[in-house]
Amino acid sequence: MKRPYETVIVFDGTQSDDVLHKEQAQIEEFLKQNASFEKTDVWGKRGIAYPIKKKKLGYYCLFLYEGEGQVIGALERQIKLNECVLRHLTVVRNVKNDAARAAFFARREKAIEEATATAKASTPTEAAGAPKEQATEPL
């Protein structure tokens, strides 16, 4: 039975961007071949709260996919063999939370748009034909 998963991987942030993108692409390719890959959310380079393997900078990637239990085991093996990975975590995704989160952001965006439209409508506009004040110079 396929279940939705998300995996966060922290790569060594001291590596070059080319190496990091190559490592990310390898994980994506593995997931495309063995699971229903949805997307990758790249969080970028960030400082780590405490040193891991004497590194203080990490490159964070979140992978969203659906797969069987065997896929998780194979992915874990591949991650553990990769020396560029500092930490990783795989959890079962709660799809209900995803839908609720999307609905919340949609409501918030709609409220912002309505507030912007109301603010534009309530600003006074110059009446057509009304005389404009002329600037006077002090004498």
- Place 136 in a pLDDT band, splitting at 50, 70 and 90: low
**For position 41, which CATH number holds?**
3.30.70.60
The answer to whether residue 81 sits within a structural domain is no
* pLDDT, averaged across the chain: 85
pLDDT digits (tens, 9 = 90+) for 8-23: 999 999 999 999 999 9
The answer to whether residue 59 sits within a structural domain is yes
Q: Which domain holds residue 31?
A: 3-76
Separation of alpha carbons 5 and 66, rounded Å = 6
Overall number of domains in the chain? 1
Q: Concatenate the DSSP letters of all residues of 11-26 into one string.
A: EETTS-HHHHHHHHHH
The answer to whether residue 60 sits within a structural domain is yes
